[in-house]
Chains A and B, each alone.
Chain A
Amino acid sequence: MSTIATSSAGGRAAARAGRPDAPWNPYVAGFGLGLVLLAAFVIMGRGLGASGTFSALLVWVLSFFSVDYVTSNPVHAGYWNDGAPLMAWLVFLSAGCFAGAAVSGWLARRSALVVEKGPRIDTGARLALAFAGGMVMGIGAKLASGCTSGQALTGGALLNVGSWTFMIAVFVGGYAVAAFFRRQWL
């Protein structure tokens, strides 16, 4: 800190140029997110979501291998949409989400090709855990009919009984096993 403070103005600007900005105050970011959610309720009569896009993308990919498999499975068939699985509201929402995140990350210089992990775990182990965690998440999201966006955030604001049950369970589940994954993050 002091070295930056005592360096020249040009040096300060150069140091700033490569350094990522700090994240926004969480209450400011949360307020913005809340207004987006409220706009979704007011305009569309529905909230936000993310896991549905993964379901739609999976169905789209699987359909190149076997349309019969997709249409005969009760879970996949729900996303088939008469052969146009990607023409779904949530898929468009996610496309926007991806672009919005890319722009924000670029503006804040936070975009970087990296693997997020703590110092005490190697990259291979981290990626294996990322895959395993994603898999558990995928199963859980299907069972819960939604994820952190579609259930916790959306259903939370609607005071949905199942969503609040879900949300509390997410935190309980996370804290229950956090000690076992300490090496990965700290």
Chain B
Amino acid sequence: MSAPFDPQGLLSEQAGYAVAVVLGLGFGFFLERAGFGSARKLTAQFYLYDMAVFKVMFTAIVTAMLGLALLSAIGWLDLGEIFLVPTYLVPQLVGGLLLGVGFVAGGYCPGTSMVGIATGRVDAAVYALGIFAGLAAFAQAYPAIEGFAKSTALGEVTFPDLLGVPFWVVAIPVAVMAYGAFKGAAVLERRFSHLRPR
């Protein structure tokens, strides 16, 4: 038996939902443990005195990425069976810029707003209402922007695909770069520590 399991039809629909709830429990738990129910903690990232967002995100990315690299290198996991969001380069670039603006203005991202609501943050609930408004506006405007939203389509593509190399050949340098960035983050936090509340 090899991974991933669900794409081979090894799980019933109900079992898939049960797995989702369990994974979700872990997802919410670790986000909250990091302090990510607080918009001030999250947005501190953009004022450089507390770069927990960057550290948590990239530690999670590197952990999962190295896990995938190892499991696929020993032939136990088929990376080709893992769902990839197709790349639409310019729409994803513009969408990312908007998300960054929405993050600093609103204080959360969609996942952390759930954590905020679950721990009583009123602003997170109002932020979530804003998300609904944004989604509704996008859907309403979609016929007008569909052309742009589907532009610069590259399909399902990863950097290892692009370079024609095994997954680990890219994963290991990325992990090393992340380690360097963590060191850099500590330097920035010291330099901007005067901005930390109290």
Question: Which residues of A come within 8 Å of B, CB atoms?
Answer: 22-24, 26-48, 50-51, 53-55, 57-58, 61-62, 73-76, 89-90, 92-106, 108, 110-118, 126-127, 129-178, 181-182, 184-186
Contacts and interface: CB of A to CB of B under 8 A. Distances in A.
Contact of B154 (A99, A153, A161, A172): A161
B130 A138 contact: yes
A145 B130 contact: no
Contacts of A175: 46, 100
A134 B6 CA distance: 33
B55 A26 contact: yes
Given A101-B31, A170-B103, A141 B95 contact: yes
B195 A143 contact: no
Given A23-B41, A36-B23, A160 B84 contact: yes
A101 B27 CA distance: 8
A30 B24 contact: no
30 contacts: A29-B34, A29-B56, A29-B59, A30-B60, A35-B64, A38-B64, A42-B67, A46-B4, A50-B109, A74-B142, A98-B28, A99-B21, A101-B114, A110-B119, A111-B120, A130-B39, A130-B124, A131-B129, A131-B130, A133-B103, A134-B128, A137-B106, A140-B94, A140-B97, A140-B99, A144-B91, A145-B86, A147-B99, A158-B84, A185-B40
Contacts, number: 539
Nearest to B141: A139
Contact of A23 (B19, B35, B62, B130): B35
A57 B145 CA distance: 23
Contacts of A99: 21, 24-25, 28, 118
B134 A143 contact: no
Given A118-B40, A133-B103, A75 B139 contact: yes
B65 A157 contact: yes
Interface string B84-109: 11111101111111111111111111
